[in-house]
Structure 1
Amino acid sequence: MMDKRRFALIGAAGYVAVRHMQAIKAVDGDLVVALDPNDSVGVIDRYFPSSDFFVEFERFDRHVDLLRRRGEAVDYVSICSPNYMHDAHVRFALRSDADAICEKPLVLNPWNIDGLAELQESTGRRVSTILQLRHHPSIVALRDRVSRSRETHRVELTYVTSRGRWYGISWKGDERRSGGIATNIGVHFFDMLVFVFGAVRRNHVHLREDDKMAGFLELERATVPWFLSIDRGDLPDGLAEDQTTFRSITVDGEAFEFSGGFTDLHTVSYESILAGDGFGLEDVRPSIEIVSQLRNAPLEPTAGERHSRLRDMKA
């Protein structure tokens, strides 16, 4: 009988960390140690009450090293920390002789991927990232359908997920730490679009503000005007009063619906990673290149390519 894989978790108090705990439990793994500067981590009791826990990275680092020297090393370090810390925490995992499983965005800039590739090669360990939309049955089916045609499709993406004043105060509101709107709330959509419709040919940004962005992607098999916002004022009229998120993706004028089927996607991701089929550094590179370019590219207000949602915005 194979011993349980041993996991460490960085960012245990984050909202997405519970999905990683569920996935580790589902794959019969053991969370042996966790880290978060915030000690509101009672959720651990539901899954791994015997896990060690630290609020200081230095003590966590020492403990992980002690386990390694005892012959009880962790096999994987799962990373759910703020975006700007991902690169350093992946490096920590590899140097601790463990594989890394990192939430998206893996890093903020494509040159960070190059550095991780060198370290991955020298340590012999592997970096995997969570791109759970690539496992969604509806998205896989759409990809299969697109791959069988030679058409260039028209895709429109609108995603509004309203955030309160806290957002601007937190690390998420700081572009240097989060990567900005396109990275923080859009990178998984950009990855999905490349996964389905192929490589990027053009990448323009028409609107770039602290709380919203809009642009135009030309992919191998699609043109994609897109709009992302955390401004409640951009929610369409007619929504329920308590509805704070609006997502619309259309393909050739038809709504593409994939709201369901998200429950177990982190578990599916972990199963693939443990089987050696996870998504690695080169899989994530296209979406990181997209969001990095969007942060730095000059605005190009080409009227013919603006997203239709922009025409409905209040002056």
Structure 2
Amino acid sequence: MKNFALIGASGYIAPRHMKAIRDTGNRLIAALDPYDGIGIMDSHFPEASFFTEFERFDRFVDKWHRDSGNKIEYVSICSPNYLHDSHIRFALKNGADAICEKPLVLNPWNIDQLKLIEQETGQKINNILQLRLHTSIIDLKRRISKELKENPDKVYDIDLTYLTSRGKWYFVSWKGNESKSGGIASNIGVHFFDMLCWIFGDVEENKVHLKTADANAGYLKLKNANVRWFLSVSYDYIPEDVKNRGLTTFRSITVDGEAIEFSGGFTELHTRSYEQILAGNGFGIDDAYNSIDIVSKIRNLQPVGLVGEYHPFCKKIKQ
């Protein structure tokens, strides 16, 4: 049984981490969040110590180790994106491995610094890249790897579309602040970019066609794929047939016109991620580099407009 601490206990994704800690037979010792209405903890770890101030949480982690003779072995990080870097450093310097939600950090140079701290402390940073554990995505990777072994120069045409509706609160929260979330591409797209690079190779060209407050779109040339992508948090752009079914999210990946079905199978991916991490097979800091580099560049690129290979959903946007 391993001892965990959790930073960012009130967020949307935190209950999946609590469930994963419990389902893998481990225990949560302490949790931190500025917001104190976290009844969800009663369903998982009601006995865990809880703090709303980082300084008291920091003191507890240090004191608990000295008083009990035990240690916090893992710190799970579900805090706002711009705080991941700092909270990872806290974990490593306190002798714990980090388990961090995506995006690991906002910029690739943050990764370079964290690698040094890994080396100094001997601890490890694990990134939640759950799409790499999704059965449909694993099957796709196997299929593409087999085809590329037979034809290494093959280039696939891919359309990535991810629409996840968010209300007005989104733009008032830290998620709507690009300096804190990294923008739409970082916040909702980074794991898709990771998955595409994992399957189709490194980036050779990165182009942005449009950026609005609620949508980003662009083009990626990977070693073995041309990718047109469209990401949005607006309900307006969801296809009518999807709206008619009462759905507020639409995700689609087509490879050479063939739709890859991966709408289900997400509920247990955090638990599977924890199982792999505890077995020493987690996705480390080097695994995160490509996707972080992509979204960092998207954030700083100027849109070129609707020229070249742009995603068809771009025509939905009123410029």
Give the one of 74, 82, 85 matched to 1:84: 82
What's the CA shift for 1:23? 0.4
Q: Secondary structure at the match of 1:303?
A: coil
Q: Map Cα deviations across residues 129-150 of structure 1 (whole Å, 9 max, x no partner).
A: 1000000111011011111123
Which amino acid is the alignment partner of residue 177 of structure 2? D
- Whether the aligned pair in 1 keeps the contact of 2:106 and 2:292 (CA below 8 Å) is yes
- Whether the aligned pair in 1 keeps the contact of 2:175 and 2:181 (CA below 8 Å) is yes
Alignment length (residue pairs) = 312
Q: What TM-score comes out, normalization by structure 2 length?
A: 0.95
Q: Map Cα deviations across residues 161-188 of structure 1 (whole Å, 9 max, x no partner).
A: 1211111110000000000000001111
**For residues 116 and 263 of structure 1, what CA distance do their matches in structure 2 show?**
30
Aligned to 2:289: 285
Give the one of 168, 175, 178 matched to 2:178: 175
**For residues 60 and 115 of structure 1, what CA distance do their matches in structure 2 show?**
24
Q: Map Cα deviations across residues 115-159 of structure 1 (whole Å, 9 max, x no partner).
A: 100001000010001000000111011011111123211110111
Q: What TM-score comes out, normalization by structure 1 length?
A: 0.96
What's the CA shift for 1:29? 0.6
Which amino acid is the alignment partner of residue 288 of structure 1? I
Matches within 5 A, 1:1-315: 4-70=1-67, 71-149=69-147, 150=151, 151-238=154-241, 239-240=243-244, 242-301=246-305, 303-314=307-318
**For residues 49 and 306 of structure 2, what CA distance do their matches in structure 1 show?**
54
Which amino acid is the alignment partner of residue 32 of structure 1? I
- Whether the aligned pair in 1 keeps the contact of 2:219 and 2:310 (CA below 8 Å) is yes
Q: Secondary structure at the match of 1:32?
A: strand
Q: Secondary structure at the match of 1:38?
A: coil
What's the CA shift for 1:8? 0.2
**For residues 209 and 244 of structure 1, what CA distance do their matches in structure 2 show?**
20
Which amino acid is the alignment partner of residue 122 of structure 2? G
What's the CA shift for 1:302? 5.8
Segments of structure 1 that go 5 or more residues without pairing to the other structure are none
Which amino acid is the alignment partner of residue 7 of structure 1? F
Cα–Cα, structure 1 residues 312 and 212, in superposed 2: closer, same or farther, change >3 Å? Answer: closer
Q: Secondary structure at the match of 1:157?
A: strand
What's the CA shift for 1:300? 2.6
Which amino acid is the alignment partner of residue 109 of structure 2? W
What's the CA shift for 1:312? 4.2
Q: Map Cα deviations across residues 70-90 of structure 1 (whole Å, 9 max, x no partner).
A: 322110000000000100000
**For residues 200 and 106 of structure 1, what CA distance do their matches in structure 2 show?**
19
Please say which of residues 166-175 and 255-264 is displaced more in the overlay.
Answer: 255-264
**For residues 171 and 303 of structure 2, what CA distance do their matches in structure 1 show?**
23
What's the CA shift for 1:30? 0.5
Q: Map Cα deviations across residues 22-55 of structure 1 (whole Å, 9 max, x no partner).
A: 1001111110111111011111111111111111
Q: Secondary structure at the match of 2:90?
A: helix
**For residues 226 and 88 of structure 1, what CA distance do their matches in structure 2 show?**
31
What's the CA shift for 1:313? 4.0
Q: Name the % identity.
A: 56
What's the CA shift for 1:248? 1.7
Q: Secondary structure at the match of 1:273?
A: helix
Q: Map Cα deviations across residues 268-292 of structure 1 (whole Å, 9 max, x no partner).
A: 1001111111001100000000000
Q: Secondary structure at the match of 2:294?
A: helix
Q: Secondary structure at the match of 2:30?
A: strand
Segments of structure 2 that go 5 or more residues without pairing to the other structure are none
**For residues 97 and 194 of structure 1, what CA distance do their matches in structure 2 show?**
32
Which amino acid is the alignment partner of residue 112 of structure 1? N
Task: Report the RMSD for the aligned CA atoms in angstroms.
Answer: 1.2
**For residues 175 and 216 of structure 1, what CA distance do their matches in structure 2 show?**
21
